[in-house]
Each structure stands twice: as C-alpha cells, then as structure tokens.
C-alpha cells in the first residue's frame, strides 16, 4: 500500500474510532453509523455524479473493480495477488475476468537464461 494511502486512511479512521472492519460505513442524518459497510447501491449513487461530470453516463462500481484489476495486472501485479484482491476462489476465474490470453510471442519462459554444460 502506498504511504499516501495509509496516511489518508489513518486520517479518516482516527477521528471515527474505526480500528477494524470496513473503513467506509453508512452514516445517517444524525451522524450515527448504520451497518458495517457501504452497499454497492450506495457506492453507485456516490459514483454517478462524478461519472456524469466526466461524460461517462453508463459507469457502474463493477466497471471500476474490473478496471482496477486490469490496471494492476498491466502494472505487473501477480495474478494470485489480483485473485485475492477480487476475492475469487479460483485463479482461473481471475484469468477469465481479466481476459488473460497466452502470449506466444513474449512467453514468460523466454526470459529464463539456461546454459547446458557439455
């Protein structure tokens, strides 16, 4: 986790007294915490104005989840770590989710430098 993310989370959780569980939680009009986590619907409602402001009308939270996973993979993230991030039980599910295809031109084993002693 980048340091700036940890600093931001600590700044958020310190005053709220959150020490475990979900960081973001629903709060009612009386500033009382409700439930243990934000629902997908709440996230989508919060996201919608920002999406429209950028000219994207049909954006949903799941689109951001998929984008984060694909960007993580493109940045060199390990498939198993992305699997854990997404909560997939099977790495094959993560591969399908990311649209992973075998790259025969740039195969990972091509970088192995083996020498045979004769």
Tracing tokens 């992973």 back to the chain, one arrives at: 100
pLDDT, one tens digit per residue, over 13-67 is: 888 777 888 888 888 888 777 777 888 888 888 888 988 899 988 887 788 888 8
pLDDT of residue 99: 86
pLDDT, one tens digit per residue, over 1-28 is: 889 999 998 888 888 777 888 888 888 8
**42 vs 47, 49, 59, 61, CA distance in Å?**
9, 12, 14, 10
- Check the CA dihedral 89-93-97-102 and report its sign: positive
And the tokens for 37? Answer: 């986590």
pLDDT, one tens digit per residue, over 72-108 is: 998 989 999 999 999 999 999 998 889 877 766 777 7
- β-pairing, 33-34 vs 26-27, is antiparallel
Other CB atoms closer than 10 Å to residue 97's CB: what's the count? 17
């Amino acid at each position: 986790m980048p340091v700036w993310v940890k600093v931001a989370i600590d700044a958020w959780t310190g005053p709220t007294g959150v020490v475990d569980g979900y960081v973001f939680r629903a709060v009612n009009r009386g500033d009382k915490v409700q439930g243990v986590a934000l629902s997908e619907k709440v996230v989508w409602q919060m996201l919608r104005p920002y999406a429209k402001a950028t000219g994207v009308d049909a954006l949903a939270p799941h689109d951001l989840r998929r984008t984060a996973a694909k960007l993580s993979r493109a940045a060199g993230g390990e498939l198993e770590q992305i699997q854990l991030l997404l909560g997939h039980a099977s790495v094959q599910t993560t591969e399908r989710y990311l649209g992973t295809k075998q790259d025969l031109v740039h195969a990972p084993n091509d970088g192995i430098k083996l020498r045979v002693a004769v």
